[in-house]
Chains A and B, each alone.
Chain A
Amino acid sequence: MKAPANKHWLQLLQRYQGLVGLLLLLAVALFLDREHFYTGGNFSNVLNQLAVPGILAVGMTFVILTGGIDLSVGSLLGLLNCIAATWLVSGAGVGPTILYTLFIGTLVGAILGFLVGVTKLQPFVVTLAGMVSLRGLAYVYTNNGTVSGLGKSLEFLIKPVAGIPLSAWIMLTITAIAAVLLWGTVFGRNVYAVGGNEDAARYAGLPIAKVRIGAYAANGLCVALAALIYTARNMNGDPSAGTAYELDAITAVVVGGCSLLGGYGGVLGTFIGALFIVCLNVLLILKGVNTYVGMGWKGIIILVAVYLQNLGRRS
């Protein structure tokens, strides 16, 4: 296993583990359920389901690449879902609602980034606090109820454009923009540098706090986009929306080959990771596997992914 000839293969596997996993899953699907899984109907079904977890996972990638974590995204999604629904019900119009939701999402992300970057509190603790208080805020905002009657004004977000739901196009665009940001800009290189070795980044004079704020703000913007698509699909505002979605996002990032220690991985891997999870969910439902058995499998897959990442790197 540790022989140099194999080392090369191990690195390739680590780099493309999400893709390898996805190909394996698609091959398994071929044997288990080709008559349903490989149909046009299921293709659009998978794309429909992919947008929300996919966009959340792209945002989470920024944070995890800086060596952080964000446990608050599910709660933030719930709050933004309620805000968007309330604005629409009160007749604020689609444009202002979308802009306001994106603004609040980015702002909350930036605040979390400020707390992590400037006050040097641990990301786990900061975002845990965020998870609790944002969820509470969502309930206060809606007065413990759900917000309904917002009509179909956001429905265009999930309607097909050129055969593919607009939400899926948004996700693909966001993934592409994130890839360019991370690989082609100074900000992106700084994200990798801060996550890879914070001390070295500090000695090199990089603006560490600003990089962190930027990464968490980008994540907040992604959560807001996901919240808008969630609102379009569910047509109401629900303070309990998005419970535990942060875990799906983190899972997608980890399966996609990012290191939770930061500085290693990429957004295309995350995209593949999210696709893997949605395909797995769909396949489990198609085969009639109990939800809770499915959860068990997901846990095992996370462990395998992290184990692969650590092989040959630590100790």
Chain B
Amino acid sequence: MKFFIGLMAALLIVGCSGGDSGSTGSDNANGGAGKSASSDGAKPLVVFSQANSQDPWRKVFDAETKAAAEKLSDVMQYDSQDAGGDPAKQNNIIDTFVVRKPKVLLVSPTETSVQGSIEKAFDEGISVILLDRGIDSEKYTTLIGGDNTEIGREAAEYVAKRLNGKGTVLMIQGIAQATPTKDRKGGFLEVMKKYPDIKIIEGDDCGYQRQKARSYMETFLLKGEKIDCVYAHNDEMAIGARLAWDASNPSGPAPIFVGIDGCQQEVVDMIKEGKLDATFKYPTPGAKGIEIAAEIIKGNPPKDKKIVLPTEIVTKETADAYTKANPNLAK
């Protein structure tokens, strides 16, 4: 026990003296030039806390953010961490990032519950750029993201045109309580009110997953109901539904399949083959975030509290150009 206490004391001494010699040491290392705020050198630090990097859209998001930051590497230092979808972990990551005194913090929140650490960072004078998802607080610099309601509306107009204002649409849905689902559904149904001859079947919650959408579609097709279009709340589910259609030995003509996200090369390829009809790009906000961060470093903070990124339709005609314009598509 005495030995243990002795070690604890030694630990404290090491810890404290480490702190002292640490500060003098870093001054020496910087050769006296280290009077700037960030002790890692002159370049300001930009950090990015990603919610998770698991789905294809987030992978593209990560790749584009990194590519944009590398292009501007003479302006900023860049570092990122992935919270694996755990809000508690994201709080820890942001708190630890703040210790490094970054100039700009980019955050794509897992949930609004990470706002505690975001507010703290903002209160310390760090510019906070929220990406894709907002928080229940005004303590951030700007929010960059796509507009899912607008995407829903544009998808509806496109489908109505393709069906000449008449037919049956099966809507395969994403996670029921998620905001993107509500918006992609709401925008779509809002426009479809204009087309009384189009019947909408509200399909199941397939959780944005290919496998679930496939199983659901297989079951749906057994009913033998005729449909002219499948509108899925993301591309993965559109692919799942298409695979189910192909496996069902269909006799009649295939319905058209429309998805959202446009972040995978696989989807673009399927559009080129005519397996899917179209997808609507849900833009990743990372590159824009880095661009705004660079402006903040130069002393031009953004004027708007919200920056909306436009969507873009991908069809057979535009598929090749789309691949060329988006080099970071998920394989």
Contacts and interface: CB of A to CB of B under 8 A. Distances in A.
A49 B19 contact: no
A19 B115 contact: no
Given A236-B112, A286-B96, A34 B25 contact: yes
B22 A38 contact: yes
Given A30-B18, A234-B91, A291-B84, A45 B4 contact: no
B46 to A, nearest CB: 12
Contacts of A38: 15, 18-19, 22-23
A16 B115 CA distance: 39
B312 interface: no
A133 interface: no
Contacts of B88: 52, 230, 233-234, 241-242
B95 A49 contact: yes
A23 B12 CA distance: 10
A246 B111 CA distance: 22
Interface string B7-46: 1001100110011011101100000000000011000000
B113 interface: yes
Contacts of B113: 146, 148, 234-236, 238
A43 B180 CA distance: 39
Interface string A59-72: 00000000000000
B103 to A, nearest CB: 15
Interface in B172-198: 176-177
B306 interface: no
A34 B14 contact: no
Interface residues of B, number: 43
Given A26-B11, A148-B112, A48 B18 contact: no
B327 interface: no
B23 A35 contact: yes
A30 B19 CA distance: 8
A124 to B, nearest CB: 24
Nearest to B115: A235
B177 A285 contact: no
A30 B22 contact: yes
B116 A233 contact: yes
A contact face: mostly helix, strand, loop, or mixed: helix
Contact of A34 (B26, B82, B91, B176): B26
B87 interface: yes
Contacts of A146: 111, 113
A282 interface: yes
Contacts of A292: 82
Interface string A251-276: 00000000000000000100000000
A50 B165 CA distance: 60
Interface in B291-308: none
B19 A39 contact: yes
A260 B112 CA distance: 38
Given A26-B18, A34-B26, A146-B111, A286 B100 contact: yes
A48 B39 contact: no
Interface in B88-116: 88, 91-93, 95-100, 111-116
Given A26-B11, A233-B116, A238 B111 contact: yes
Contact of B96 (A19, A148, A285): A285
B122 to A, nearest CB: 16
Contacts of A291: 81-84
A49 B82 contact: no
A292 B50 CA distance: 14
Contacts of B39: 35-36
A38 B91 CA distance: 20
A23 B116 contact: no
A268 B99 contact: no
B92 A23 contact: no
B79 A288 contact: yes
A238 B87 contact: yes
Nearest to A283: B96
Interface in A137-191: 144-146, 148
Given A26-B14, A291-B82, 15 more contacts: A16-B3, A26-B15, A30-B18, A30-B21, A35-B23, A37-B22, A38-B18, A41-B98, A45-B95, A148-B136, A234-B91, A236-B113, A243-B86, A286-B100, A290-B81
Q: Which 4 A-B pairs have the closest CB atoms?
A: A34-B22, A38-B19, A35-B26, A236-B113
Interface of B: 3-4, 7, 10-11, 14-15, 18-19, 21-23, 25-26, 39-40, 79, 81-88, 91-93, 95-100, 111-116, 136, 176-177
16 contacts: A19-B7, A23-B14, A26-B15, A34-B21, A35-B26, A35-B39, A38-B23, A45-B96, A48-B95, A145-B177, A234-B91, A236-B111, A288-B79, A288-B81, A290-B82, A292-B82
